[in-house]
Amino acid sequence: MQQEQNLNPQKSKPKIWVIIVGIIFAIVCLCVVGIGAFSIYTDLQQNQYVGKPTPIPEQIYVDLRTAALNRKASELGLEVDVNSNQPYGIIMDWNLGSATATLVSFETGDASLYYSTGGGWLGGYSVEKVNDTSIEFVNSAGEYVVKLNKVSEYPMPPVNHVRFYIVTPQGVYGSDDIDDDSLTKDGVDFTSLFNAAQNVISEIRIEMQK
């Protein structure tokens, strides 16, 4: 009887190690599968909007964007020549897939950044760098007015495209959809206008992080 008791522990040890090794192997497998799943999820998350509609914008975004596109110079306290097409405002819509970012700048230096999913940043009067880059953005639009057509409808661009709307006393002049990689449409290079917009966005983001 005593001999059997001595043998049983010897037989149980290999079983314990087998169980431990099995558990470790299972954990490793789960980790590998988990990493693979996370990688796939990340890829899907990054590409889920490619070729698909952007989510429907929030109503407050629609209202703010519409108000900006229809803003009169007199509402801004600006005196302009009603017969001129010199810009006093510009709007850039940039569809990033998960949302559309709309940048609004006026000659007053006011600048706002709206997101179609809600949120954003309003203001610009009291922030010198935002004010300066906003005015530069509006001024850079002057050379583009003659290259665009006057519009009365303001569609938003598809994924990875931008649209510019230039506000003048004569009305609003709009671009077509512009690929944000080439920044060229119908022979017109919008790089300088896009870069001017990026300068405003950079200054706004700095303020948003404060």
pLDDT, tens digit, 9 for 90 and up, residues 77-92 = 999 999 999 999 999 9
Query: Is residue 89 domain-shared with residue 177, that is, in the same domain?
Result: yes
Report whether pLDDT(112) > 70: yes
In this predicted model, what pLDDT tens digit does every residue of 140-181 receive, in sequence order? 999 999 999 999 999 999 999 999 999 999 999 999 999 999
- 28-42, 58-72, 106-120, 143-157: the lowest-pLDDT one: 28-42
What is the identity of the amino acid at 207?
E
Tell me how far apart the alpha carbons of residues 32 and 28 are, in angstroms, rounded to a whole number: 6
Query: Is residue 101 domain-shared with residue 204, that is, in the same domain?
Result: yes
Query: Is residue 119 domain-shared with residue 190, that is, in the same domain?
Result: yes
Query: Is residue 37 domain-shared with residue 112, that is, in the same domain?
Result: no
Residue 60: which H helix or E strand, with range?
A: helix 59-69
Query: Is residue 16 domain-shared with residue 66, that is, in the same domain?
Result: no
Counting residues of the chain whose pLDDT is more than 90, the rounded percentage is 66
- Indicate the pTM of the whole model: 0.75
Which residue's entry shows tokens 């005196």?
79
Q: Is the dihedral of CA 17, 19, 21, 27 positive or negative?
A: negative
Number of domains in the chain: 2
For residue 202, tell me if it sits in a domain.
yes
More confident position, 19 or 195: 195
The CA-atom distances, in angstroms, between 168 and each of 8, 110, 132, 140, 141 are 94, 16, 20, 13, 10
